Each structure stands twice: as C-alpha cells, then as structure tokens.
A and B are shown apart, each in its own frame.
Chain A
Amino acid sequence: TQLLEQSPQFLSIQEGENLTVYCNSSSVFSSLQWYRQEPGEGPVLLVTVVTGGEVKKLKRLTFQFGDARKDSSLHITAAQPGDTGLYLCAGASSGSEKLVFGKGTKLTVNP
C-alpha cells in the first residue's frame, strides 16, 4: 500500500514568517499534486509536479519534487493570513487511476 506522510500535521505561525511543509513516501510517484482546502469547501489544486527535481513557483509558494520522485515540499515565503488552510499532497502512480492523499498539514497564519 502506498502511503504519503505529511509533516508537520499542524503549524501555527505569525504573519510574515516562512514555512516548509513536507510530503514523503517510500514509493515512487509519476506525479504529485498539492491541494489547498478551506473549511467547508473542497480541495483546490495548486500545482502538479511531474519531473524529478522539478521546482515550480506560484507567487510566494515554491513546490519541489524530489529527484527520486518519492517526496515533495511546499515552501511559503512571508506567510499571510489568507494562506490559512489545510494543505494536502496527493501522488499518482503510473497506470493507476487513483490518487493517494496525505493526511494534510493544517496551517494557521495569525495576523
């Protein structure tokens, strides 16, 4: 069974701080997606990374896919209260139609 471990599970920081969220597995994934979910809503896709070592930037968010395609990280620079939410990573395996989701990192950014 493929598993994705996310850390930390909870993170509470002050506005302006930087943070990194990790998503790790012993399995290789063909691609990895990051979603953000706000209370009462469904997850919304932020980015998909497909190539080992790939780095993608989305404004203050930087996503990296590990060289071996087993892990990924999300770095947020100068966090803002609007970044508050549950961040989920999800891995796709070649030939599988299903995504494997991590349990998420609940981020709270205090003003």
Chain B
Amino acid sequence: GAGVSQSPSNKVTEKGKDVELRCDPISGHTALYWYRQSLGQGLEFLIYFQGNSAPDKSGLPSDRFSAERTGGSVSTLTIQRTQQEDSAVYLCASSLWGKGASQPQHFGDGTRLSIL
C-alpha cells in the first residue's frame, strides 16, 4: 500500500494476556518509530529502528514491552502480561531517513488497545 499500515485497528484483551501489534512501513523507509498516545494526549516515544543499527529502546516503559523489526521492514510491538494502564492508541511511523528527526514522519492510523 501507499501508506503505513497497522494491524489490528482495534484490540480488546483481558489483563494479563500478551498482545502483538504489527506495523508495515512505507516501502523504502529505513526509519520506523513506535509511539503511545493516551486519550486526547500527545505522543509518547517508545522505540526507534534505523536500518540495521541497534534500536533505540529508551522510551519503552517497562520490560513487558519489546519490539522487533524483521528484514528492515515489518515491525512487531509486543506487550506481555498486559495491565490496564497499557490501554492506549499505539502509533507507528516511518520516515525516509533516520538522519535527524527533522525528516517528516508518516503515521499509520494506530491500534486502539483496550485492556479489560
């Protein structure tokens, strides 16, 4: 597709379950970002991938959160043993270069995660 694709668009799960969120970036974009957005709030940086470099995981809120990017393309964000405070919209963005965050970021429509 032409844009960043995220799946699922909505996910409802019970507290304590694990969830996987998927992001398919724009073809050719080497940088990929994950953000978390709580209701009506700004974006909280989670993790950044750039090419084959080690990811910047400095925004991950706990060790229950992890992410990987296979083949420099699709990325998966995994949350283990989900808690109610994990409920939020998880947004993925990609950009053409990672050389400086001034490059425009192209966002998917997000996954709305609800923990019961």
Contact = CB atoms under 8 A, between A and B. Distances in A.
Interface of A: 6, 30-31, 33, 40-45, 48, 50, 86, 88, 90, 92-104, 106
A102 B102 CA distance: 15
Contacts of B104: 33, 45, 48
A110 B44 CA distance: 30
Contacts, number: 70
A95 to B, nearest CB: 8
Interface of B: 4, 31, 33, 35, 40-45, 48, 50, 56, 59, 91, 93, 98-102, 104-110
Please list the 8 inter-chain residue pairs (A to B) with the smallest Cβ-Cβ separation, ordered nearest first.
A42-B107, A92-B101, A103-B42, A31-B102, A101-B43, A101-B42, A92-B102, A99-B101
Nearest to B3: A42
Given A102-B42, A104-B41, A93 B107 contact: no
A98 B93 contact: no
B107 A44 contact: yes
B7 to A, nearest CB: 14
29 contacts: A6-B42, A30-B100, A30-B102, A41-B110, A42-B91, A42-B93, A42-B109, A42-B110, A43-B43, A44-B107, A45-B106, A48-B102, A50-B102, A92-B101, A94-B100, A96-B100, A97-B99, A97-B101, A98-B33, A98-B56, A99-B33, A99-B101, A99-B105, A101-B35, A101-B44, A101-B45, A102-B42, A103-B41, A104-B42
A92 B100 CA distance: 7
A33 B43 CA distance: 13
Nearest to A94: B100
A88 B42 contact: yes
Nearest to A89: B42
